[in-house]
Amino acid sequence: MKCIPSVFLSIIGTVSIIVSCSHFLPPQESEQVNASAAAFEKIEDAEDGDDQILNSGGRNGYIYTYVDEHGSTIEPTSSNFAPAKGGAGGSESALRFKGSTANSAEVYAGIGFSFREPIGSYDASRCKGISFLAKKAPESTAALRFKMPDMNTTPEAGICQECYNDFGISFTLTDEWIRYVVYFADMKQEEGWGNPNPPHIDQKNLFGMQWQTTTSAAKFDIWIDDIFFVECDPN
């Protein structure tokens, strides 16, 4: 079993790193409550090889990729999405998106999924945040933003006047798998745009999550695996 470092990301605090294998260990028989919680907390591990997140906890959404219209490219596209071989910790598969961004002032490319299909909001207020494993290929840009569309940033909700400024956090990837833990309380919108600009993410009305690069004129090859809710109230 390979130990993978964990990074606790905070916009307003320090970044701490620990080495742990605990998220790969199966629950003991005496931990029935924890086992039930783990089934709810696991969102996607890419092991079933399809384009749908795990059908658990009232979630049944689909995985997609997206790209700007300024000449950037991305693989795979949403129409032919499938997990890539070679997951974290020796697992079978992981989510992967790769391509290149155009030499333009406003570019983006990313991967994400909805929590529900048809598109609808999802209540994650019983949990404190999200964890996932991520890495980049050696030739890839390292800059990445993790973000979560909610009721105030998703066009389908009918609230936002200037949409898509989702709450999230920006960070730098390495060439090795690292487990990132992001707490809802630390997620922020980007400054200078978006309408509305509420003080915090709406945990009761989340629509999904995305990983996005906005570095112009750059190659990207990014891997994501083992996505979980963290610190959830079992009640």
List of residues 6+ apart from 118 with CB closer than 8 A:
none
CB 4 within 8 A of CB 133: yes
The predicted structure's pLDDT at residue 22:
33
- Nearest partner of 147 among 166, 173, 133, 131, judged by Cα: 166
Segment 151-169, tens digit of pLDDT = 999 999 999 999 999 999 9
**The pLDDT of residue 39 is above 80:** no
The predicted structure's pLDDT at residue 181:
95
Segment 168-209, tens digit of pLDDT = 999 999 999 999 999 999 999 999 999 999 999 999 999 999
Segment 80-136, tens digit of pLDDT = 999 999 999 999 999 999 999 999 999 999 999 999 999 999 999 999 999 999 999
Q: Beta-carbon neighbour count of residue 27 at 10 Å?
A: 14
**The pLDDT of residue 20 is above 90:** no
Q: How far is CA 66 from CA 29, 50, 62, 74, in A?
A: 42, 18, 13, 7
Structure tokens at 179: 């487990």
Beta-bridge mates of residue 93: 85
For the chain, what percent of residues have pLDDT higher than 70? Answer: 86
pLDDT interval class at 2 (50, 70, 90):
low
Q: How far is CA 83 from CA 41, 76, 79, 132, 218, in A?
A: 20, 9, 13, 15, 23
- Nearest partner of 219 among 5, 39, 74, 17, judged by Cα: 74
**The pLDDT of residue 48 is above 90:** yes
| pTM, full prediction | 0.88
What is the residue-averaged pLDDT of the chain?
Answer: 89
Beta-bridge mates of residue 123: none
Domain boundaries, the chain: 4-25+47-230
The domain made up of 4-25+47-230 is a member of CATH 1.10.357.10: no
φ, ψ dihedrals at 133, nearest 5°:
-100, 145
